[in-house]
Chains A and B, each alone.
Chain A
């Protein structure tokens, strides 16, 4: 019963978030600010994680396929498809749920307990829309760029690990990357990334927006936001895979 109550409250919250903005140009400034806060500041962590994932994928695939029947270029193919299909969208989304989700939830939660949200409401500003819509738009615009960066850096990581350890040479790796490439995998990954960006920003904003109490409650809301974002991402990952790939 509580789940349906929260779900209903979440959709009412979204209806307020997507109400017509009072002044578009103020929202435009907020969107730029959020692109920096949520997107550009995440490039480093995404790149670091992706390069190691790519490297580990290469080594693990090579170990598990250490047979003459398994051509070496398939290592690169495995790295490419794993990165595109799952790691750069789902795993990066789970990591961003932790980094960006907790950031959003604690930021909005702190605004709630320091009465900044009340101050916006008293002025006649739709606080849900003004604070949350720019975050959603910024993440939905910028996360696909993060996903592309993740793919490129991950594949590069695989190449570096493969050539440095002598598992695979450069030409074979590049051949494997080009072999049996399905461009739709990129589209599938982009669709997932955009939907996950929406889920991360809206769910964590919802948890922050309805905080009541003090700083301990902001911390609890932040944790809840990360947990709910992660579960929802995994659930939607399953649904989208079934809908788009099968």
Chain B
């Protein structure tokens, strides 16, 4: 479980996060949604420690994460997997080497064991016969899947995904979403996804937090969204006339 308590963040004089508190549950896909520029990426980066919050606390289970020094944070991060918006695969390594990298860096496995683990992870995300390709030779969806394989290589306890569906077609997006959800449940991981893809919200949003102008404006599940009277949430989720009609029909 990851707990965020009263997080605030300023950039110069501009406050981008206002006193946000959330509990992210284990074994569930926790979604942070909001408009572009609402502060959800800043929130995710504050949680994972890529940015330091100006106020508030972050707890990874019992560990008070944001007061740790650089080395302490690095120890916690060895249990963290992260899927970045663009995949962030290492250019100078092949697909196989990318997935093997965290194992080489932090595990004491033999070369055969590492190979076995890499093949298992790649198979888990349906990447086959691409071991020796470089990241630039892969499609966007394949890059995301390899990034997921790399993120789960060390059996992380926490998985962070920043806009996992950006730049992907709806069908591939659903595949990625389902993959993340399966992995989350299979390995009992605390997963936090940052997205503005409504298909993802409806597909895997067991817990959804809506961020509006840096504030936590709403919290619930994907089923609750249809019943919500929150004006900002409805404006965001049901932005098109078709979805507004669907909501009206549901009511």
Contacts and interface: CB of A to CB of B under 8 A. Distances in A.
A26 B105 contact: yes
Interface string B82-101: 10111011111000000001
What's the dominant secondary structure at chain B's contact region?
Answer: mixed
A123 interface: yes
Given A115-B84, A116-B88, A123 B102 contact: yes
A3 B48 CA distance: 31
Interface in B143-201: 160
A119 B88 contact: yes
Contacts, number: 53
B50 interface: yes
B43 to A, nearest CB: 15
B123 interface: no
A99 interface: no
A64 to B, nearest CB: 49
A26 B80 CA distance: 21
Contact of A26 (B78, B88, B89, B104): B104
A114 B88 contact: yes
Contact of A123 (B78, B89, B91, B92): B78
Interface string A114-151: 11101101111110000000000000000000000000
A196 to B, nearest CB: 25
Contact of A126 (B74, B85, B90): B74
Nearest to B102: A123
B75 interface: yes
Contacts of A124: 74-78, 80, 105-106
8 contacts: A111-B91, A116-B88, A116-B91, A121-B50, A122-B81, A124-B76, A124-B77, A125-B105
Given A118-B82, A122-B77, A124-B106, 19 more contacts: A23-B105, A26-B104, A111-B91, A114-B86, A114-B88, A115-B85, A115-B88, A116-B88, A116-B90, A118-B84, A119-B84, A121-B77, A122-B82, A123-B77, A123-B105, A124-B74, A124-B77, A124-B78, A124-B105
